A and B are shown apart, each in its own frame.
Chain A
Amino acid sequence: MGWFSTTPFLNVPNSTQVTYRKSSWWKLNQQRLTPWIFLFPGLLLFLVYVIWPIFNSLYISLLQWDGLSPAIYVGLSNYIELLDDEYFYISLMNNLKWLILFMLAVPIGLGLAIFLNQTIFGIRLIKSLFFFPFVISQVVIGIIFSWFYNPRGVIGPFLDKLGLSNYAILADENFATYGIIFAGIYPQIAYCMILYLTGLNNLNTDQIEAGRMDGAKGFSLFKNIILPQLKPATFLAIVVTVIGSLRSFDMVAIMTQGGPYGSTNVLAYYMFETALSEYGYRMGYGSAIAAVLFTIMMFYILFFIYRMYQSEKKGL
């Protein structure tokens, strides 16, 4: 709250206050206005790049528009059509699968972090190697995993031994989504791991010592002493994982393009496909999908903000 330090100056009698009324108004209201002036550029950008596009796409979702010809107002018919669109339900279900399975990244990340939280020679190098998947671009991971999954690729011989010769998971409508999620979770685990590693570094050793003295060992020590101290890291890990699963666009685009026949579509990719891809000329329909995705995200974000607000009230 830096601007309060200017307060003494305001009490100094000032002759200009009388001569220039405008300047005096400024002096009187400086404290109230300064934060807004500083906020103005940010608010303007937020308005132009976030708020306006949201309302604009909500408006477009009421139109039938190919992006070139004049738009026709069609009311809610895009939403009504959405209710009868099986690809939409497939995408919604896939989003749910992503959300649930992606959560596995949190405990796996925690496990890896605990495993790596040791002080032996070269552990820094090993830690950075484990963090590597998060550094690689998602696109590269997608491409590499589709090579893995190719029955002529690396895992081909192993599948042969399992009696699954020539099995291509990305061509199987029932399992392709799981194949993509598995690829997507790989960098996410590394991300959660690094969050927990930082958390483990900041553990209060006194508490652990005290716990040990009271006879806590093994799992009970972990559950009652360590895990509560990792709460901020857990919270952050869950937040980034949920966000990561909801914007699961890139993996789908790289690995299957929503195929085979739409069975791996997620809402974000389906929106892109209908509105913006090579064959997508349905801005209105795409916007309607975006509106649904927005509503889902909004629920989550509101919950998140509520939680933050609650914990700040408690004085965190």
Chain B
Amino acid sequence: MKKIIATLTAILSMGFSSSFAGTLVINTDLTDPAPKAAFEWAFNKFQEENPDVTIEVNNFDHEGYKQAIRNFLTTSPPDVFNWYAGNRMLPFVRAGLVEDVSDIWSDTGWVDGNLTEGMSHAKKPMTIGGKQWGIPYTYYQWGVYYRKDIFEANGISVPTTWDEFVAACATLKAAGVTPITIGSKYLWTTAGVFDYLNLRTNGYEFHMALTKGEIPYTDPRVHAVFDKWDELVKPGYFLENHASLAWQEAIPPMINGEAAMYVMGNFSVALFKEGGLTNDNLGFFQFPEITPGIPMAEEAPTDTMHIASGAKNKTDAKRFLIFLSRADVQEEMNKTLGQLPVNSGSKVDPDPFLEAGLNMLNNAYAMAQFYDRDAPAEMASEGMKGFQEYMVNPDRRDKILERLEKVRQRVYK
């Protein structure tokens, strides 16, 4: 009910707001406690530093926001809104609904900004057609979360190569432990596994070319990825019945000690710890190398802030984006978010998972956004359905890849 009222007030206020000079209208979907607290701090801080600006926030429900954004950007655009990097913003950029902010990324900087210094490594996912369309303020790593105590009990050390990884799975399976837990009801968890297998088998450039639609899904190199996947699926190394479980529902088996690993994003740590795991028995390692010599790229989905092309107060909107990209601001916000600041000048809390993530990402060859953000929406939804079907019926691989190829030819024409 609260959410409905909040959304209603948000919709109502959208019509009347942003007419005064110095009012900055921000649409967000930050209803979860941590993001909400982080942004409340940021809004207050910005207002403190810019007393002439009044911030007006329209907060949407997280799921509802994904539909609402299409309406509010076309009918009553705010000044600033949050979204995601990569291909996720492409439809809006292509429709001319997002403001080009290349000027605040340029070397000379805009007003008091100088983004290139701390943020240059994150410029690529924000770029479409040679221009930048927003700024990133937080991201998080993906990798393998595992039960240290179960690994120790079975005499397994952290695997760094594919062979070691498969051997570890075999040992665990023999000991009666499900090697890898996963809940694929909402499909996207399967894409995390696919992305890493592809990044490690064929490398970052191939992965990006595939998600950009330049490579057929029937290509032998894609088959090579599924060959590796076969090595995990066919012996039954993934949790049974994963298609009926949400990603959170796949966590209890790992807490109970029935499963040992989860290919996941860092946001899962909070749930693991709520379930009773601690830094002593929960660990993190980088997804192991598959093809030797291929530079290690990582998954790091990035949350971003944009200016609407129909914004009434673009000056203050740009001031806000520059403010949000500052090292000190990102540091403070990400402490609350429990994620990693994008600005390399920021520090992170002494948390083993954040430190491991920061260390991994700072040394990463490149960063992928995640399959459903790198590939266009239509391709992503069909692709992830296919991955799920494959994980349940590995024998249907050829049929699935042919279907995905058909979708690719339609989507990217």
B154 on the A face (CB < 8 A): no
In whole Å, how far is A101's beta carbon from the nearest beta carbon of chain B? 21
Give A242-260 as 1s and 0s: 1 = Cβ < 8 Å from B's Cβ atoms.
0000000000000011011
Known: A68-B91, A168-B241. A261 touches B392 (CB 8 A): yes
- A169 / chain B contacts, CB cutoff of 8 Å: 244
In whole Å, how far is A72's beta carbon from the nearest beta carbon of chain B? 12
B392 contacts A276, CB within 8 Å? Answer: no
Contacting chain B: which of A217-225, A233-241, A277-285, A296-304? Answer: A277-285
Give A152-171 as 1s and 0s: 1 = Cβ < 8 Å from B's Cβ atoms.
10000000000000111111
A279 contacts B185, CB within 8 Å? Answer: no
A151 on the B face (CB < 8 A): yes
B385 contacts A68, CB within 8 Å? Answer: no
B97 contacts A68, CB within 8 Å? Answer: yes
A57 on the B face (CB < 8 A): no
B392 contacts A173, CB within 8 Å? Answer: yes
Size class of the B contact interface (CB-based, 8 Å): 20 to 34
- B153 / chain A contacts, CB cutoff of 8 Å: none
B70 contacts A260, CB within 8 Å? Answer: no
- The A-B contact count (CB < 8 A) is 79
B91 contacts A259, CB within 8 Å? Answer: no
- A262 / chain B contacts, CB cutoff of 8 Å: 385
A interface, over-half SS: loop
- A168 / chain B contacts, CB cutoff of 8 Å: 240-241, 243-244
A259 contacts B185, CB within 8 Å? Answer: yes
- B240 / chain A contacts, CB cutoff of 8 Å: 166, 168
Size class of the A contact interface (CB-based, 8 Å): 20 to 34
Give B237-281 as 1s and 0s: 1 = Cβ < 8 Å from A's Cβ atoms.
000111111000100100000000000000000000000000000
B67 on the A face (CB < 8 A): yes
B365 on the A face (CB < 8 A): no
Chain A CB count within 10 A is highest, among B73, B92, B378, B380, for B378
Chain B, 349-364, CB within 8 A of any chain A CB: none
In whole Å, how far is B91's beta carbon from the nearest beta carbon of chain A? 6
Q: Knowing that A68-B95, A81-B410, A279-B372 touch, tell me 4 more A-B residue pairs with CB under 8 angstroms.
A: A168-B240, A257-B185, A259-B388, A261-B388
Binding site for B on A (CB under 8 A): 66-69, 81, 86, 146, 149-152, 166-171, 173, 256-257, 259-262, 273, 276-282
Binding site for A on B (CB under 8 A): 66-67, 70, 73-74, 91-92, 94-95, 97, 184-187, 240-245, 249, 252, 372, 377-378, 380-381, 385-386, 388-389, 392, 403, 410
Report 9 cross-chain contacts, Cβ distance below 8 Å, ordered by A residue.
A69-B91, A69-B94, A149-B244, A168-B240, A171-B241, A259-B385, A260-B388, A273-B381, A278-B377
